[in-house]
Amino acid sequence: MKNPIADLNKIFDSRIRLGVMSVLVVNNEIGFNDLKQMLELTDGNLASHLNTLEQAEFIKVHKGFIGRKTSTTYSITALGKQAFKAHLDALEKMIRKL
Amino acid sequence: MKNPIADLNKIFDSRIRLGVMSVLVVNNEIGFNDLKQMLELTDGNLASHLNTLEQAEFIKVHKGFIGRKTSTTYSITALGKQAFKAHLDALEKMIRKL
DNA sequence: TAAAAGTGCTTTGTTTTTCAAAGTTAAATA
DNA sequence: TATTTAACTTTGAAAAACAAAGCACTTTTA
């Protein structure tokens, strides 16, 4: 039997980053505050996890306005989609033995 | 939309503990060294994760002998099976939106 | 118009978690 | 007898997670 965890992506070990990605897969764009409320996080905590995902180029940021109010939204990148899918495939392979 | 990560079990955030559980689900008993080789871990690292799982009563230890040589094996408990399944269900629910 | 509140962070510092390395005890093998 | 193996425990360092506070800016409210 080979190492069942070797293909899991370390970035997605975090439940929060997993949650962000899962939200971004179904919402092609979501705001900082919506995400914050959805995942029940403090600003700093969310911001740092978003930063990790951005560094990995799994998500990208859009800074814009709603009317004249600033609004930051996030979306998943092609690379992010691919990496997330690969992770889920690895997870599935790992547990399909059930 | 409600918090998609609320039902994930914190104990299974760790890829290693996830790996241990997934191995134990299909092997009703496995030895320390087999697990160590399978997951490619140092003794101390594996031992401490096994300890976490044991504290949670998700696995149990059997200390015995092969001939007169000590042999430690691990198996999953009913509680562990249940908790692991609940975690996988939560994961699945989270990603079935795809 | 002054105060309060919201947005989206960054910074700071603490707590928690992870991990490798070394030490340990007892038995097995060369 | 010396070395090796099994299965840890202990120690300590590094990394990660997190809350709280601060901040710059804008908008809303009193």
Backbone CA torsion sign across B7, B10, B13, B14: negative
Query: How many folded domains does chain A comprise?
Result: 1
**Looking at the domain assignment, is residue B67 inside a domain?**
yes
Whether B20 has a pLDDT exceeding 80, the answer reads yes
Give strand letter and number of the nucleotide nearest B63 (CA to C1'). D7
The model's pLDDT over B65-88, given as tens digits with 9 standing for 90+, comes to 766 677 899 999 999 999 999 999
Q: What residue of B is the nearest CA neighbor of A6?
A: B39
**Looking at the domain assignment, is residue B62 inside a domain?**
yes
Q: Kindly state the helix (H) or strand (E) to which residue A24 belongs, with its residue range.
A: helix A15-26
B8 in reach of chain A (CB within 8 A): yes
**Looking at the domain assignment, is residue B4 inside a domain?**
no
CATH number for the domain including A57?
A: 1.10.10.10
Question: Which residues on B lie below 8 Å from A10 (Cβ)?
Answer: 15
**Looking at the domain assignment, is residue A1 inside a domain?**
no
The model's pLDDT over A22-80, given as tens digits with 9 standing for 90+, comes to 999 999 999 999 999 999 999 999 999 999 999 999 999 999 877 777 799 999 999 99
> How far does the CA of B73 sit from the C1' of C24, in Å?
20
